[in-house]
Structure 1
Amino acid sequence: MKNLFILLISFAVLSCSSTKQEESPQWSQKMVESHGLVDFYTNRHHQAKLADTGWDYVSGLVASAVLKAWIMYPEKTEYYDAVKAFADRNLNEDGTMMLDSKGGAALRPSNIDDLPAGRIFFALYEEEMRKGNTKDAERYKTGATVIRNTLKHDHARIAAGLPGAGGFFHKAIYPNQMWLDGLYMGSPIYAQWQDAFGQTDANENSESWEDIAQQFKTIHKFTYNPEKQLNYHAWSATPADSNSFWANSTEPFSGCSKEFWGRGMGWYFAALVDVLEYMPKDHKDYNDVLQIYHQVAAGLKRWQDQESGVWYQLLQYDATTTADGKGDTIAGETYNVGTAPNYLEASCSSIFTYAYLKGIRLGLLDKAAYVPVAEKAYQGLLTNFIREADGKTNVIQTCASAGLGPAKDPSRTGTINYYLSGKDVTIVENEGKAIGTFIMASLEYEDYMRTNKK
């Protein structure tokens, strides 16, 4: 009865808050039309138009979010047309090659960031088949298959004999490293392909799901800190390698990076819920992946900022934590000098909100425990990050990028100083990584509001 009472109170809060939202256009559509179709940034590079944007994971994220908006609001045919134009610009005639700006292969060897833009191919395939346009539909199916096969069969993995054997490298330039980001870049498109096209061979299908699950089980084993209930940004199976200079060399977290980065955990949380959407519930590894998702959900609930409802760039600290003004000294050179404070960050907060709301929709999370978290988070997004000016909806306070190494880039140390004062870790607005994730969070919220009014 107590849980039922909490659930009823939560629904009442959601219903009251929905009244205000209904008075204006949906936030998902406002963001799509302000910055999804046009005028967004991909890693600080300005993009004037989605349909003309090149192949990368940021433009792919925006395209995927716009396509999800079309699925919810099919009368917005211009959304679909823009995503189709983006796909056609970046896919060759027979679907066997994603193209870079010069017309060459956009899928670089063992670069997991090159893969997730292909998630748009599934909905495009279904829609073009519905229209009877089998030529384009088959191109999109081929493109999705090329990406899945590139990951499964050709992508570099941690070698046998090393801890985490079989884990996908984040990139070839980061040998034997797995990053939380990479779980989002590779596993969901692998999972969606298995669901859409992988049913013909039962044995291979089961083995592929085992492979997908193993990626999560591996990185969670090595990066999860049970005391903090958070995952370190990255882990190296060979911490003594020069490209892993940022890694902890001692137990209990040997090979781990030093901090809990918001967006890295966001990609990880979203990857878990996106994979669970498609993973067969009777697969032997399903409950293991679900348990990891529950652990991540509980940890992020703990670190949600109670005043704002959103999350900080560095999850375990608040704004009183700053870069130390001294920087990081590597091989006699000093980097990341500054005193910038920790800050509430838009992209991680948006993707956490998405992953909570989607988990609630799919029945993966207890509503009594997590509806208040998700509701507070979504209202926090609107209050802290969304600004309207000159007829446009803008998103502020986003981390432009962050990474670790390699050896040729010793400034990317993975320290507090780096995540707050690093040369590439600048705070920007209207960045695609926040635009796409805000659209996704808004769509889930709008669906939840609509469903719970019935």
Structure 2
Amino acid sequence: MKTFQLLLISLLLGHLCFAQDIKPQEVRNIMKKVSDWQMDHINDSYSNKKPHHPLHWTNAALYVGMAKWAQMANDDTYFNWLKGIGNQNNWQLHERKYHADDHAVGRMYAALYRKYGEEEMLEPTIEQFGFLMHHPANTKLNWGSPYHQDRWNWCDALFMSPPVWADLYNITGEQKYLDFMLEEYKATTEFLFDAEEHLYYRDERFKGKLDQGTKIFWGRGNGWVYAGLADILSNLKPQTKEYEYFLDIYNKMSIKLLELQTPEGHWAMSLLGQKFYPTPETSGSSFFVYGLTWGINNGILKGTKYKKAVVKGWNAMASYVNDKGMLGYVQPIGAEPGNASPDKTEVYGTGAFLSAGSEIYKMVGGK
């Protein structure tokens, strides 16, 4: 009995030690610093020669994290900023009706609808998704097929569109949104998920292709998928068949990601190629920290090994924020492992960082 008590005390002290490594106020402070810098620099050119369109997928990923920060901030500045973007664009999705990237801004609209309850915020998304359900794309998922990106045939798409469908299901209670999303998600997973490695290929072009003798699983691409899984699961009822489907993928990826974290705390740009891609990459890594910490906070991922991983991961991400609040080591727009440097950032990296911070804050006792 005494041995058991000592073991229990040891485990509790270990848990407290992890929590004490990160202070809630420190998380708030760095999230504010990063969000404020990003708002001041929203019109920088980043990966392109001109600023991103406000409804572009890059900014949409930023808004996902910014909305999470706005809920924590005790300051309407951030919600007002997001609401202003919606009003200026008449709450429309971006240009392409079928393309998942152009659905992603719907994530922000759903977050604002949950706060303000104004129907105009969701009406265009509901109308467009209704059209998609009645006129589904019939293209194959093969990369060379005509209009192939009218369906989710690249793994990033699983962050961009499916969580919006899950949001609409959760908000309206209408099963049709979940049914459509689940069918398409299953098709993508059957096409791109590696059953041996429990990771997603970016798209068909990378299946069977090797880099330095390793399969190519793009870090950020899998970060998109993993963060999207957490957001989908947040919208579903536990113990339902849909929840169990997504939970199975989430659990398989979680175990694999724990194995692949580098000693420094980040994840490599090519997840199986740490040796060949030693440079940190903060957009994918931040989304992994977000998804793992979400699992801890929701009682899905249990044990000190996960807490150790997210503490190490968060501390690494925070160390790449410069004195002004810019998050460095964000890989520019791309579709495969590449380059990142301390002086390079992108809006989606900020969004991933803020998402991670929102869950880390909860984990360490923030209210």
Identity rate of aligned residues, in percent? 21
- Greater relative contact order structure (CA < 8 Å, 6+ sep): 2
Distance 1:445 1:248, change over 3 A: closer
Give the unaligned 5+ runs of structure 2. none
Cα deviation, residue 400, structure 1? 0.7
Equivalent residue for 1:420, pick from 338, 345, 349: 338
2:27, 2:361 within 8 Å by CA — same for their partners in 1? Answer: no
Cα deviation, residue 248, structure 1? 4.4
Cα deviation, residue 310, structure 1? 0.8
Quote the RMSD (CA, aligned, Å): 3.4
**Counterpart-to-counterpart distance in 1, 2:219 and 2:145:** 18
**Counterpart-to-counterpart distance in 2, 1:278 and 1:169:** 34
**Counterpart-to-counterpart distance in 2, 1:177 and 1:220:** 10
Which residue of 1 is the match for residue 244 of structure 2? 287
Question: Are 2:340 and 1:386 aligned?
Answer: no
**Counterpart-to-counterpart distance in 1, 2:30 and 2:11:** 25
Distance 1:361 1:309, change over 3 A: same
Cα deviation, residue 58, structure 1? 1.3
Cα deviation, residue 7, structure 1? 5.0
Which residue of 2 is the match for residue 85 of structure 1? 84
Cα deviation, residue 154, structure 1? 3.9
User: Which stretch of the first structure deviates more once superposed, 37-46 or 173-182?
Assistant: 37-46
**Counterpart-to-counterpart distance in 2, 1:188 and 1:219:** 14
**Counterpart-to-counterpart distance in 2, 1:171 and 1:125:** 36
Which residue of 1 is the match for residue 31 of structure 2? 28
2:163, 2:228 within 8 Å by CA — same for their partners in 1? Answer: yes
1:40, 1:432 within 8 Å by CA — same for their partners in 2? Answer: no
Equivalent residue for 1:107, pick from 95, 105, 130: 95
Equivalent residue for 1:212, pick from 181, 189, 211: 181
Amino acid in the other structure paired with 1:378: W
Amino acid in the other structure paired with 2:105: A
List per-residue Cα deviations over 1:94-132 (Å, max 9, x = no partner).
x5x44xxxxxxx331421100011112223224334xxx
Distance 1:6 1:196, change over 3 A: farther
List per-residue Cα deviations over 1:316-340 (Å, max 9, x = no partner).
112x42xxxxxxxxxxxxxxxxxxx
Which residue of 2 is the match for residue 119 of structure 1? 107
List per-residue Cα deviations over 1:172-222 (Å, max 9, x = no partner).
3547761110111110000010000134xxxxx1x5424333344333333
Which residue of 2 is the match for residue 13 of structure 1? 17
Which residue of 2 is the match for residue 410 of structure 1? none
Which residue of 1 is the match for residue 137 of structure 2? 156
List per-residue Cα deviations over 1:41-96 (Å, max 9, x = no partner).
57624788x9xx521111122223222211112x31111111111111111xxx5x
**Counterpart-to-counterpart distance in 2, 1:152 and 1:280:** 22
Distance 1:9 1:156, change over 3 A: farther
Which residue of 2 is the match for residue 360 of structure 1? 296
Cα deviation, residue 147, structure 1? 4.4
Cα deviation, residue 284, structure 1? 2.1
Amino acid in the other structure paired with 1:281: P
Equivalent residue for 2:272, pick from 306, 311, 316: 316
> For the pair shown, which has the larger CA radius of gyration, 1 or 2?
1
Which residue of 2 is the match for residue 178 of structure 1? 153
- The alignment's TM-score, normalised by the length of structure 1, stands at 0.70
**Counterpart-to-counterpart distance in 1, 2:146 and 2:16:** 47
SS at match of 1:365: coil
- The alignment's TM-score, normalised by the length of structure 2, stands at 0.85
2:227, 2:288 within 8 Å by CA — same for their partners in 1? Answer: yes
Cα deviation, residue 141, structure 1? 2.4
Distance 1:228 1:447, change over 3 A: same
Which residue of 1 is the match for residue 221 of structure 2? 264
**Counterpart-to-counterpart distance in 2, 1:171 and 1:71:** 42
Q: Which of the two has greater helix per residue?
A: 2
Which residue of 1 is the match for residue 116 of structure 2? 128
List per-residue Cα deviations over 1:277-336 (Å, max 9, x = no partner).
111224323212111100011111111002x01111111112x42xxxxxxxxxxxxxxx
List per-residue Cα deviations over 1:215-257 (Å, max 9, x = no partner).
443333333334434222223xxxxxxxxxx35479xx9xxx9
1:10, 1:371 within 8 Å by CA — same for their partners in 2? Answer: no
User: Which stretch of the first structure deviates more once superposed, 269-278 or 356-365?
Assistant: 356-365
Which residue of 2 is the match for residue 439 of structure 1? 354
List per-residue Cα deviations over 1:130-188 (Å, max 9, x = no partner).
xxxxxxx12102033134335434452445xxxx7xx9999935477611101111100
Count of residues in Structure 1 that have an aligned counterpart in Structure 2: 360
